[in-house]
Amino acid sequence: MSELLVLTEENYEKEIAAPEPMVVDFYADWCMPCKAMAPVFDRVAGEYGGRVRFAKIDVDQSKQLAIKNKVLSIPTLLFFKGGEVADRVSGPIDAVQLKNRIDALL
């Protein structure tokens, strides 16, 4: 399984700049759609271990990162390639949709 990184304002820039593609889940513990998305995110992360990095950002703990990335609703997934946002989706998605977006990064 791929290790899920926890991004904070302290480690965000360093981790996003890594050469591997990365999927970042902006979420909150109180958000029911985020809770529904979590097992899908975790399962897909396990399938792409070593090829894609997966990270989570708690918007309540890292408000400035949510603002910086123009996250207006949660869950929001940002797909990074070469340190830049290549794709984004707001709202929960299923595993097939998530895999299709990841495959487009590779």
The domain limits of the chain are: 4-105
Alpha helices in the chain, H assignment, sequence order: 12-16, 32-47, 63-68, 95-105
pLDDT single digits (tens) 50-95: 899 999 999 999 999 999 999 999 999 999 999 999 999 999 999 9
Q: Answer yes or no: 1 catalytic.
A: no
Q: Are 93 and 37 in contact (CB under 8 A)?
A: yes
Q: What is the pTM of this model?
A: 0.94
Question: Catalytic one among 31, 52, 65, 102?
Answer: 31
Q: Answer yes or no: 34 catalytic.
A: yes
Q: Kindly report the CATH number that applies to the domain delimited by 4-105.
A: 3.40.30.10
Query: Could you give the CA distance from residue 58 to residue 68 in angstroms, rounded to a whole number?
Result: 14
Question: Catalytic one among 22, 23, 24, 34?
Answer: 34
Query: Could you give the CA distance from residue 58 to residue 76 in angstroms, rounded to a whole number?
Result: 11
Q: Are 26 and 74 in contact (CB under 8 A)?
A: yes
